[in-house]
A and B are shown apart, each in its own frame.
Chain A
């Protein structure tokens, strides 16, 4: 696949999202966030700043939380993407409900995804690690205590291990290719 320098050129790409292969027409300059929302109808990831500051658009790419406003859609080709829509009935979601860990709900998909990704990577994180991961996102409604309680109740419950999102296949994340490599 050849990419011209014209950012308005449309191309067809395949993405693997929530375990399904989807095909969509995009501009090469399109953000992953906008493709998810506008092309694929996956509006769980929210725009909050388009600047990487707030984390409301967080998705999981190859088991790592990524801000989808900082990714071009073409960077997600051949990667395993999980959005909040691919995460049904996870323990962390139940604990968010039990602990009232949301109010307006706008930042919630982002916080659920970053918490879930943390538990996938480290089922028993220490306090410093939790702060490091969760401070990537902003919640303006709660005082964060409820989110903290929701997360720690999963950690204490020891349910974190079985928490792989539905349909997520373990990726070979070690493979590093340059951007054109990913596209070819």
Chain B
């Protein structure tokens, strides 16, 4: 499954990094602790978080995640969006809570 398929099926908004919408998704990782993501997320996973600052994109890029989804309709900072564009890693947004969104993504990837 590709990031663009997830965008369509989970009704996500693309905020940045549309260059990477064809990235292949191999799984998901839900966490708001950046060190946890650094230590435990894997390449090609979609990262679900409520963090909105630009360090999210630094971690996303270093870990080669497929995309980042910000939950609860929270707005990403401008610098986060521009870094997402620079890195070509999709920055997506959902109005859902972390629990619901993670559940839906899990279902989708089964």
Partners in one complex: no
